[in-house]
Amino acid sequence: MVQHPRNSDGVSDPVVITGIGIVASVGLNREAVWRGVREGRSGVRLLKGLVGIPDGLLLGAPVDLQPTLPRQLKVTALCQRVADEALADAQIDTTTMNRGRLDRDRFACAISGHIGDTGWVERHVGVYDTSQPGALEWWQQWMPNTTCSTVANEHGLFGPRICHSTACASGLIDFLSALRAIRHGQADIALAGSGEAFHPLFAAGFHQMRVLAYHDVPEQACRPFDLARSGFVMGEGAAMLVLERLSHAKRRGAKIYAEVLGGSMHAEAHHVTDLDAQPEALVRLINDTLDSARLSPADVGYINVHGTGTQQNDLVEARAIRQAFGRAADGACVSAVKSMLGHLVNASGSVELAITALALRDGYIPPTLNLTHQDPQCDLDCIPLVGRRRAVDHALKISVAFGGHLAAVALRRWSGANSAAQPRRTTAA
């Protein structure tokens, strides 16, 4: 268990979230996305324009935002947008950091990996256009850490630079890596998150695996925990969170969303894509995360699950929660926002963690859309169709990824001074 670092006076120094930026199919900023999720709106529709994929074959939840630079990766543009929003939300102006109270050399940046520019493939099928003035060539953005480097360089963040590619757990794992950098004294503050944009290789691969849902009414396709569930739909989006030591946040007058109590990472050595029907690894992940946060199952009021809407994931995740929580599972609210936003793959962990922090802030549990006939084997309170107003103090976010990557984070609602739920006080960073 990683202990909180201590100040010179010996007092434990927790880590808190002070800024959030989100973009997804239901909104182009944090509050718009959160409003869409609260209202149970779906961003899913028929996909068009994917190279090599016939129009109308697949469903997805796209973001109506395009890069400003010709040929720039869309995932990079999405991450730049949410990084700007998260930093502004945290009252940080990176153009004047060194003249204020922030040290660039102790500002970490942890942004997950992504598919690089495959323009050379597109060029061979006759659709790659380099004639646009200022177009970025594939070799300028080929590496999977392109976005991490681009965002960190843009804002002059010279602390630890972290980039993992761990499928659907990437967002949470990079968040936990940033948390570790702060707790181990390598940084005072960090920008952490991930992004995802549609890519024909992903689309073709998921289609070939037969894990994608289809429905005559696109908005009803993704149905986590429902008897009629048939798979997930792909989504686009990104989220960034600013996390920092509490003393650091208080010193600069930052508002606070939540305290990061703990987290854990585990692995399931079963199969590259399939989950073990006996979820011992996922149970161990949940138990270790609660131990690291010094919480009992009864303390947790909300669980934001991975919730893909596949037969396998929903059953295994529900069983793991029931085994880890025991009777306390009856008192926890559980919801799957992929039912509205689609599966954001690399971005899913960070977007859903950000939504979890907002749920704590506002005392509102988002719904699981399209849950009309709940599978009795998923015997949890899955918040069907309509969200629920409920003030909870502690929440758990779980990610379950291809390759056996498992990750979870526990948060505590911040209710003291500088709470994000209070009217904002304007201060210079």
- Residues 6+ positions from 268 with CB-CB distance below 8 Å: 275, 276, 281, 282, 404, 406
- Residues 6+ positions from 72 with CB-CB distance below 8 Å: 136, 141
283 with 157, same domain? no
- Under 8 Å between Cβ of 74 and 57: no
- The pLDDT of residue 100 is 63
301 with 394, same domain? yes
Amino acid at 173: I
What global pTM score does this model have?
0.91
pLDDT tens digit string along 146-187? 999 999 999 999 999 999 998 899 999 999 999 999 999 999
pLDDT tens digit string along 21-50? 999 999 999 999 999 999 999 999 999 888
Tokens, residue 379: 């015997």
166 with 271, same domain? no
Range of the domain at 173: 15-125+134-251
268 with 358, same domain? yes
- The pLDDT of residue 425 is 40
The pLDDT > 90 percentage for the chain reads 70
Out of 251, 278, 296, a domain closes at 251
Q: How confident is the model at residue 416 (pLDDT cuts 50, 70, 90)?
A: confident
Active site residues per annotation:
168, 306, 343
pLDDT tens digit string along 247-282? 999 999 999 999 999 999 988 766 555 566 677 899
322 with 404, same domain? yes
231 with 274, same domain? no
- The pLDDT of residue 325 is 98
- Residues 6+ positions from 247 with CB-CB distance below 8 Å: 7, 13
Interval 297-325 mean pLDDT: 95
> What average pLDDT does the structure give for the chain?
88
pLDDT above 70 for 293: yes
pLDDT tens digit string along 69-83? 888 899 999 999 999
Out of 251, 284, 305, a domain closes at 251
The domain that contains 373 carries what CATH number? 3.40.47.10
